[in-house]
Structure 1
Amino acid sequence: MAIKTYYSFFFKNYLRSHRYLREIIAILIFHIFFWGFLYSDKPDDMIWSVLAVLGILLNMVTVSSLFFFEKGNSLYFPLVRPGGRINFLFSKILLILSIDLFWIMLFGLIYGLRFLDGSYFLYLPLRLLFMTVLLILSTSILSLSFSYKTWMVWIVMLLIVFGGILNKTALFPIQSLSQSYVLLTFLLPPFLEIIYSAVTLEFPFWRLLFLMTALLQAGLYFWLNVRLIQKKDFI
C-alpha cells in the first residue's frame, strides 16, 4: 500500500535526522511548568486538561518538524510519483498523529500506574479518544500553513489560541436577536469543549453540538489540505 510505504519512509527519515529531539525538548519544558499536576498525591481528572495542552504543544512542534524540515530528495522524490502529493499529505498527517498520540498515551499510562485506580483505566480509552479528536483537529488546522502559505501560521495560531481559551458553550443559549453574533463561535475550533469532555465525561447539549462541530471542522480542514496540496508550488 502506497501510504504505508510513504509512512515508513518518512518515519525512518524522522528518526535518522533526530527530529524527535524537538519533541523531547518540548516535553522537558512542559514538565518544568506543569510538574505539580503530574505528581499529585491522588488521581485527578484534571490531568487530562494538562495532557491536552501537552498534546497541542507537541502537535505544533511535530507538524513543523515533519512538514517544514523536509528538504532535498526526501521531499521531492515522493512528490513526483503518481498520487505522490496525496500520499505525502496522508502519510505525514498519520505520522504526526502517531507520534503525538504515543506521547499522550505514555504519560496517561504512567500517571495511571502511579495510583493503580481501576476507574482511571476504565475511562482511559474514552479519554484517549477525545485526545485523538483534539490532535486530528489541531493537525488539520496546522497543516494549512504548509499546504497553502507559510504566513497562514499566524492565522492558524490565533484559531488555536481562541479555540482553546474561549468557553463557547457558556455563550448559549442566545437570549435575543442582538446576541446572534455568538454564532460565529462555531467557526472557532472547539478545543476547550473537547478538553472539558475528556475531563468531565459529561455531555450537555451545547457541548455535544460543539463536539460534532469539531468533527465537521476536522473534515473540512482535511479536505482543504487535500485541495491545496495538489496546487502547491514546491519550487
Structure 2
Amino acid sequence: MEITYINYLKKSVYRQIQEEIQLSKIDEVLNQYLIKHLVNRKPQKFQFFYFETINNEEFYLESNNFFKQFKSQYSLQGIDNEFLERLETKKIDILNLIKQNEIEKLYFDYFKNADLKRKDKLQSVDLTSFLAKLVHTFNPYDYCALDNPIRNHFKLNKESFYLSFLIISSQYKKWCEENQSIIQVIREDFKKLDSENVINFEKLTDLKLLDLIFWSKSN
C-alpha cells in the first residue's frame, strides 16, 4: 500500500505522541507538565473561561461580544474589532458549520483570507489559529485548539497551519482511542493534584488533556 505524504505526516505525529506519553512516563507528564496548569495564575484564569465556554452554545448565542472575549482570552494578536463584529453578525452560520463538521467551508469562508485593518489599509491574513480554537470550543471531542508551539513541537512548522490542525487533531483522537488505559491513569492522577478544582474534569476531553500536556512541553 502506497504511503501518501499526508499519511506519512500523520504517522510521524502519532509516533511522537506514543513515544512521549507512556505508562513509564506518567510521573514526568504530571509533575513537569500538567502541574503548570494548576500552579500558574494566568493559566488558571484562562481555564475558568475555557470551561465556561466549552460546548456552551447558550453562552455563545446570548453574548453580544463573544468574539472579543474569545480573542482576549486566547491572546490572539492583530485582530481588529471590525473583523470580530463581522463574526458576531454571522455567529449562527459559523456555529452551524462547526456542528455540521463543514470545517473546510468555515475555513475558506471566514478565516483563510480574513481582511484585517493594518494602519490605514486592509490586509488579507490567514487566521487558522483562531479557527482551530473556535472549532475546538464547539467540537472538543474531534478537534484540538492548536497553537504554534505545539505545531512546532510536532515538526509541522513547514506545513500550513490548517493542515497541521487537521493532522494533529486526527492523531490526538486516534491515540486516545487506542490508549484509554493510559488516559484514565493520567486523568485520575491529575485530578488528585488539582486541590483547588482549577480543572472541570467532567468537561475535560481527551484531546484537551493532550493539548494541556503538549502546551506545557512546547512552551
Q: Would you call these one fold, judging by a TM-score over 0.5?
A: no
* TM-score, structure 1 normalization: 0.27
Which one has the largest radius of gyration? 1
More helix per residue: 1
More strand per residue: 2
* TM-score, structure 2 normalization: 0.29
